[in-house]
């Protein structure tokens, strides 16, 4: 993810100790991600492959400009000499490519609600991956949340007549992406990380554009000025929310970021149901209800854990 811009002077925090500027950054980031489906829909009839290819190349250009403007080439060059970091970012790039393509495909095929489901269950998938990959131990409340989410997926699979594969691909690809980023997060800032990821993906993206050009034909510059401007904005549309997110993460406690992360899938859900009028039969409502119940259980455990940690910290003073 891109790194935050230079830190602003700390604003006076409210009584709860929450940085107001951090809240603005967090809500802005997740709000922009929430309305992302409308942006991709506006790019029709551009295909998902072309959109993702331009998104990769233009994100790389945008990040390179940021590095040049902020004069951070030197620390970026240090990262380039670290073979392990470069290879790790390559794996992260592969996962984010799967995530981006699946999301754009879902948006352009009228499956925004299922895409929202993927990001609703992502926190639960992350907890589950912690057990499978990092050998973490869950308490009874966390296992309850995981169990409820599994039941929800079964209910939705019965309702769909198949597994909600778009939601699962989005949740697991972003979950594994988060695990990889966590391993190098203390060494790789957000802009440098996204630059390395998109640099790995740039050659395949260029190949994709050649394939599209020789088959269906590229839409860049052929569908009017407005469409071209929108498509050229793909780099900024990708990077700006990540910059806001990084700035928010530096200023807010994890528990607040945990709450605010639900803004994006909730807005996406509303876009799918109220704007795009995607069907919501009873079994889908039941499945989503179970997912929201699982998230509520997980959130209660998060709040309880944060309070216990705060009490322990005060007792140690």
pLDDT mean values, one per 10 residues, the chain (317 residues): 36 52 87 93 93 95 91 88 90 93 94 92 82 78 85 85 90 88 77 90 96 92 92 91 80 72 90 92 90 86 72 68
What ranges do the domains of the chain cover?
20-316
pLDDT for 15: 42
Closest CA to 112 of 174, 35, 176: 35
pLDDT for 18: 62
Tell me the H-state helices in 71-139: 73-80, 83-108, 112-132
Radius of gyration of the chain (CA): 20
Q: Answer yes or no: pTM beyond 0.95.
A: no
Distance of alpha carbon 52 from alpha carbon 58, whole angstroms: 10
Sign, CA dihedral 67-68-71-75, equals positive
Q: Cβ of 22: how many Cβ atoms within 10 Å?
A: 22
Distance of alpha carbon 248 from alpha carbon 163, whole angstroms: 35
Q: Which two tokens stand for residue 78?
A: 């240090």
Angle between helices 48-70 and 190-214 (to 10 degrees): 140
Closest CA to 44 of 113, 116, 115, 105: 105
Q: Which two tokens stand for residue 93?
A: 């790039």
- Write the Ramachandran bin of 69: left for phi over 0, alpha for psi from -120 to 50, otherwise beta: alpha
Distance of alpha carbon 57 from alpha carbon 51, whole angstroms: 10
Distance of alpha carbon 220 from alpha carbon 57, whole angstroms: 13
Number of continuous H segments (helices) and E segments (strands) in the chain: 14, 0
pLDDT for 180: 85
Sign, CA dihedral 112-117-123-127, equals negative
Locate tokens 């603005």: which residue?
Answer: 24
Closest CA to 122 of 179, 170, 156: 170
Closest CA to 164 of 178, 150, 146: 150
């Amino acid at each position: 993810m891109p790194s935050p811009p230079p830190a602003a002077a700390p604003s006076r925090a409210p009584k709860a100790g929450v940085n107001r500027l951090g809240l603005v950054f967090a809500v802005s980031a997740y709000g922009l991600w929430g309305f992302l489906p409308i942006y991709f829909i506006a790019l029709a009839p551009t295909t998902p492959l072309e959109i993702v290819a331009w998104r990769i190349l233009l994100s790389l250009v945008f990040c390179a400009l940021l590095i040049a403007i902020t004069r951070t080439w030197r620390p970026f060059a240090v990262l380039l000499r670290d073979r392990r970091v470069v290879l790790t970012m390559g794996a992260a790039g592969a996962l984010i490519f799967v995530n981006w393509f699946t999301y754009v495909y879902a948006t352009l095929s009228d499956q925004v609600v299922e895409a929202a489901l993927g990001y609703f269950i992502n926190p639960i998938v992350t907890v589950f991956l912690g057990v499978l990959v990092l050998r973490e131990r869950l308490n009874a409340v966390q296992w309850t949340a995981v169990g409820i989410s599994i039941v929800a997926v079964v209910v939705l699979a019965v309702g769909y007549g198949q597994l909600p594969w778009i939601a699962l691909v989005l949740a697991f690809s972003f979950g594994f992406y988060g695990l990889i980023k966590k391993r190098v997060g203390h060494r790789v800032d957000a802009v440098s990380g996204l630059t390395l990821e998109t640099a790995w993906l740039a050659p395949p993206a260029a190949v994709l554009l050649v394939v599209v050009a020789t088959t269906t034909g590229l839409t860049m510059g052929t569908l009017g000025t407005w469409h071209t401007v929108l498509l050229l904005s793909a780099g900024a549309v990708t990077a700006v929310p990540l910059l806001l997110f990084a700035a928010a993460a530096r200023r807010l406690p994890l528990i607040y970021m945990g709450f605010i992360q639900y803004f994006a899938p909730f807005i996406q859900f509303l876009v799918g149901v109220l704007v795009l009028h995607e069907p919501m039969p009873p079994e889908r409502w039941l499945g989503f209800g179970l997912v929201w119940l699982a998230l509520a259980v997980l959130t209660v455990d998060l709040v309880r854990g944060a309070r216990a940690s705060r009490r322990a910290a005060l007792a140690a003073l």
